[in-house]
Amino acid sequence: MSIPKIVGLEQEYAIMVRQHRRIEPLLSPSQASLLLVGQAPEANHLLWDYGEEFPLRDALQVDPTPPVTPPSDMENRLINRLLPNGARLYVDHAHPEFSTPECLTAAEVVTFDQVGEILLQQCCAQGNRQLRGQEMALFKNNSDHQGNAYGCHENYLLEAQTYSQLFLGRGERELLPFLVSRQIYCGAGKVGVEEETGGVPVPYQISQRADFFTTLYSVRTTSARPLINTRDEPHADRRRFRRLHLILGDANMSAHATYLKVGTTQIVLRMLEDQAINRDLSLEDPVTALKMISRDPSCRVTVRLRDGRRLRAVEIQEAYLEMAHRYFAAHPPSPEEADLLRRWTTVVEQLKTDPMLLRRQIDWVIKWWLLEWQSKGKGIDPHSPRLRQLDIQYHNIDRQKGLYHLLEREGQVDPFSPSPEALEPYLHTPPPQSRAYLRSQCLIRYGEQIERMSWGGFWFRSAAGPCYCALPDPRRGTQEECAALLQQSPRLETLLDELGQEIASPKQARR
């Protein structure tokens, strides 16, 4: 029986600094990111624990990989903010990145993804009040049309055995056809391409990310980008769990698209663990198929399967949808899974008929309609750089300036999630059904006792000296398990003892 598909998003934000008056030197993206992250609420003393980070440990290699060399404590505090809702905000290279807390449902992911937008825009506004003659702006996109890419990474909890089998043929046979074709409802849309296309014009495509992928499997994320990332960094008990780290998805402004992207992937991974994907849809060349599908907004192009058949992306999605319906006939779906099945079915049917039927819900269609309207209604040349500017401005997270938010205010897109005011409490409230709840509450209640924290545990000061509390199961530490005990535990040691939580000394923790 499949395990719950705990999921989280890591969203890289493009940051731009405009200079209005030449008063001070223009901030670099790195400097601007530091200024922005520094505006977030924080526990001043708290450090991010890099001890369990192995970004280059490859699931396809047996050689041990050393952990990341941690920054100094001073730099650690400058680039990291651990948030009271269980999320993390930090500077990654030259851009800010927001990692949602671990969520059980796709609806929770949508909530905390949008909470990230709200927090980042608040930090941006506060940072801009400290600047003279220049202004920061943030964009939730994947391409700046100058060769730079920004990721939206998805992380899903898998059984360790299932994860290993992905690299022994099951990934190419059961998962990749779904991932390559799902862009038709979760692509963010893009003007032009990043590479030569043999003279074939590509004025518009479905996915912002598709151009940047070159291989099937790799541990890399910034070069030789793979369709399936092989990073072996579970942030959990590796004997039982693995973290599937997907980097090929687009950053979505539309909550509908995020909900479908995450929710349908959770369903397919659940089916994969339960051996319920029984049709072989292996693609002959998945990387080429990804780009072909992206470059055809009509959704009519066919891609070649390994067995010689040719199918459209919508037909591949239709095959997965049929398998999902059979699966849930034997495994009663949750209310959210039933809702996802209905929405997935509707989207597939509308894509088969006319993608423009989704112009109020799906990013790439919304943007395509907007750009067509600007081109024809306002006489903008289809090849004008102005369209690329509009493309980028669609992703501006400032609710007064971003084009997506303008369409939202004017009723041109269908509402899906609560208003920003209704989302505000989630800046301080964690998801209730994962270990993020316990980690968040420990930070809020016992923060002065905690020194370092990561996804999988934290270091704290006890009467016996420094100790480490591991949180090896992302499914444990929920509100249901912990809320009453938290009320009864004025001291952290009392809480951990009542929970039966394993605590290790520094020497034991490093074994």
C-alpha 469/C-alpha 439 separation (Å) is 10
Catalytic annotation present for 92: yes
Burial readout 9-27 (b: 16 or more C-beta within 10 A, e: otherwise)? bbbbbbbebeeeeeeeeeb
Task: Identify the pLDDT of residue 418.
Answer: 87
Backbone angles phi, psi at 109, to 5 degrees: -60, -45
Reduced to 3 states (helix: H, G, I; strand: E, B; else coil), residue 308 is coil
Residues with Cβ within 8 Å of residue 438, at least 6 apart in sequence: 471, 476, 477, 478, 481, 482, 499
Under DSSP, the state recorded for 53 is -
pTM listed for this prediction = 0.96
The encoded tokens of residue 344 equal 């997935």
The sheet with strand 465-470 has its strands ordered as: 47-48, 450-454, 457-462, 465-470, 503-504
Q: What is the 3-state secondary structure (H, E, C) of 386-404?
A: HHHHHHHHCCECCCCCCHH
Kindly list the distances between the CA atom of residue 44 and the CA atoms of 76, 80, 82, in Å, as whole numbers in the listed order: 11, 10, 10
Tokens of 189: 């849309």
Backbone angles phi, psi at 168, to 5 degrees: -115, 30
Specify the CATH number of the domain 7-41+83-424.
3.30.590
Quick: pLDDT tens for 346-377: 999 999 999 999 999 999 999 999 999 888 87
C-beta separation of 325 from 158 below 8 A: no
* Amino acid, res. 235: H
Backbone angles phi and psi of 240, in degrees to 5: -115, -30
pLDDT at residue 260, rounded to an integer? 98
Q: Cα-Cα-Cα-Cα dihedral of 176, 180, 182, 187, to 10°?
A: 140
Q: How far apart are CA 449 and CA 311, in angstroms?
A: 58
Is the CB of residue 170 less than 8 Å from the CB of residue 179? Answer: no
Encoded tokens for 472: 């090896």
Rounded distance between C-alpha atoms, residue 110 and residue 317, angstroms: 22
Contact predicate 454/51, CB 8 Å:
yes
Give the pLDDT score at 511.
41
How far is it, in rounded angstroms, from Cα 168 to Cα 354? 38
Q: What is the pLDDT of residues 275-311, one digit of tens each?
A: 999 999 999 999 999 999 999 999 999 999 999 999 9
Q: Which of 49, 63, 92, 398 is catalytic?
A: 92
Residue 506: the pLDDT is: 61
pLDDT tens digits for range 110-160: 999 999 999 999 999 999 999 989 999 999 999 988 888 999 999 999 999
What phi, psi does 156 have (nearest 5°)? -125, 140
> Token pair for residue 19?
């200079």
H/E stretch holding 10: strand 7-12
Distance CA(10)–CA(34), nearest Å, equals: 18
Q: What is the pLDDT of residue 509?
A: 57
Q: What is the pLDDT of residue 44?
A: 66
Q: Which two tokens mark 304?
A: 């070649």
Q: Any idea which residue has 């920061």 for tokens?
A: 136
Residue type (1 letter), 97: E
Residues 295, 202: contact at Cβ < 8 Å?
A: yes
> What CA–CA distance (Å, rounded) separates 223 from 147?
12
Give the CB-side neighbour count of residue 396, counting CA atoms within 13 A. 19
**Are 437 and 431 spatial neighbours (Cβ–Cβ below 8 Å)?**
yes
Do the strands 80-82 and 213-218 form a parallel or antiparallel pair, or are they unpaired? Answer: unpaired
Q: Which of 199, 165, 162 is nearest to 273 (CA)?
A: 162
Interval 434-451: pLDDT, tens: 999 999 999 999 999 999
Q: What pLDDT is recorded for position 220? A: 87
Walk along the chain (511 residues) and give the pLDDT tens digit of each residue.
899 999 999 999 999 999 987 777 899 999 999 999 999 987 667 999 999 899 889 999 877 777 788 999 999 999 999 999 999 999 998 999 999 999 999 999 999 999 999 999 999 999 999 998 999 999 999 998 888 899 999 999 999 999 999 999 999 999 999 999 999 999 999 999 987 676 688 999 999 999 999 999 999 888 889 999 999 999 999 999 999 999 999 999 999 999 999 999 999 999 999 999 999 999 999 999 999 999 999 999 999 999 999 999 999 999 999 999 999 999 999 999 999 999 999 999 999 999 999 999 999 999 999 999 888 877 777 678 899 999 999 999 999 999 999 999 999 999 998 889 999 999 999 999 999 999 999 999 999 999 999 999 999 998 878 899 999 999 999 999 999 999 999 999 899 888 887 677 665 554 4
Rounded Cα gap, residues 419 and 345, in angstroms: 27
471 and 443 Cβ atoms separated by less than 8 Å: no
With DSSP H G I counted as helix, E B as strand and the rest as coil, what are the percentages for the chain, rounded to 5?
A: 40, 20, 40
Which neighbouring-strand residues pair with 136? 17
Instruction: For residue 318, give every residue at least 6 positions away whose Cβ sits within 8 Å of its Cβ, in sequence order, or none.
Output: 348, 352
What 3-state DSSP class applies to 329?
helix
Alpha-carbon distance 399 to 37, whole Å? 19
C-alpha 353/C-alpha 360 separation (Å) is 16
Position 81, amino acid: R
Check if the beta carbon of residue 100 is closer than 8 Å to that of residue 93: no
| H/E segment holding residue 267 | helix 255-273
